[in-house]
Amino acid sequence: MSKGKILITPRSMSKNGHPGLAALTNAGYELLTPFPGKMPTEEELLSILPQCAGFLAGVEKISSKVIEACPDLKVISRNGVGIDNVDRESAEKMGIALKVTPGANSRGVAELTIGLMFSLIRAIPQVNSSVKSGKWERPKGMEILGKTLGVIGTGMIGREVISMATGMGMKVLAYDLYPSDLLKDNEAVKYAPLEEVLAGSDIITLHCPAGDKPVIGNETLKLMKEGAWVVNTARSALVDDAALLTAIEEGKVSGYAVDAFDSEPPELNGLLRNDKVLTTAHIGGFTAESVDRATRAAVANILAVLE
């Protein structure tokens, strides 16, 4: 007899499964994957989640309406670090534990950040498309040796990015509300106020939570170095799309790479359609290694609560 039901909604897991989920079935739980490869809507969650004791959740919105309809739900476990999609106040009121997997996706996101950085400054996607269309266009690129990378947010992902960047000869200006002692011995890294980071960086990369207003907006764009580049693998809300588009069109910003969106797939606004903007489909943590670490950690979190 089943100890209870656990809903699985991360799209890769719900479609293809994962060996790490076996720990849940071995412990006596029934796994539900009614939305294979699809992000469930609020209505779909309401149709199935109230019968569950556990929820291994993806990035779908988990509203107060959904949470309050689930009196038997004991734990929501994310296979990642973000819980912006969860109504935390309702979860706390209902006594539902919220669990995340810090560090599981850090390497994958950091490596994508570096890849996007190179793709921007060497125009790799554009040149690839140009050659395949029969043209021979050779845009002049920029080398990173000695250049300054502005890292906004020095949590696990930010620190991974810094390690890679300084290893390739970059200097780093870093900003975080809570500077990390783990960077104190890296002579290529300097913590500075946000204004100094923006003004002194050739490339800016975002690795912080979203706040009340965008980090990259009308006022902060004015502070940035002429021709800087921006990479965002963190949160869509960190950037004011309209303000950044204007900065790109005016040449203030040379290009933008983004792996984070409000909705998936995103609505293609003017910024995302711009030729100087590189988009990827939220693939930062979507590596074999990251998925494996995150799945096993999320499963362990569920068992720690339910058992």
Annotated catalytic residues are 235, 264, 282
Give residue for tokens 């499964």. 17
Distance, in Å, from the CA atom of 122 to the CA atom of 144, rounded to the nearest integer, reads 10
Sign of the Cα pseudo-torsion (234, 100, 179, 187, in order): negative
Distance, in Å, from the CA atom of 24 to the CA atom of 77, rounded to the nearest integer, reads 13
Token digits of residue 46: 């309401």
AA identity, residue 221:
L
Q: Which residues have a Cβ under 8 Å from the Cβ of 63 and sit 6 or more positions away?
A: 42, 87, 90
CA distances from 102 to 38, 74, 105, 205 (A): 24, 20, 8, 19
CA distances from 15 to 11, 32, 50, 167 (A): 6, 11, 22, 38
Distance, in Å, from the CA atom of 253 to the CA atom of 245, rounded to the nearest integer, reads 9
Cβ-contact 293, 17 below 8 angstroms: no
